[in-house]
Amino acid sequence: MACPYFDPGERAPGLSGSLGDLYMGQCRVGNGQPDEQTIADRCNLGYARGCCPRFPANGGPDAVRFSVSKDDDTVIRILYSLERDHRPFSNGALEFCTATGAFAAAPESIESLAGAYVRSYLRRTR
């Protein structure tokens, strides 16, 4: 899981997390860069509502989960689930084309998170 408002950047070496790896990155809400502890504990792991001052006070999701449902070397199908309070909020599927290195279509709100998940997956499996 990861915070749906996290924009992952560089991989943190030697560590693993909910996106397959832990990432440094930026918060897409609020001002400034989160500190390293917040990035490790909240941004990479999700469920920051009530714990992170940047977290929006709306009825949106708390976390996003990803899993690979198909990998045929040309297309990787990723299932995602947005959650709120540890319950499903919304879900869907994404297709990543390995030839182009891009998603066929992905919601802008989770595209960078899904991209980090795929990079971690490819690093571990290729």
Specify the DSSP class assigned to residue 117: H
Q: Cα–Cα distance between 34 and 106 in angstroms, integer?
A: 26
pTM greater than 0.75 (yes/no):
yes
Q: Is the pLDDT of residue 91 over 80?
A: yes
Q: Cα–Cα distance between 124 and 126 in angstroms, integer?
A: 6
pLDDT of residue 1: 83
Q: Are 65 and 88 in contact (CB under 8 A)?
A: no
Q: Cα–Cα distance between 107 and 89 in angstroms, integer?
A: 15
On average, the pLDDT of the chain sits at 91
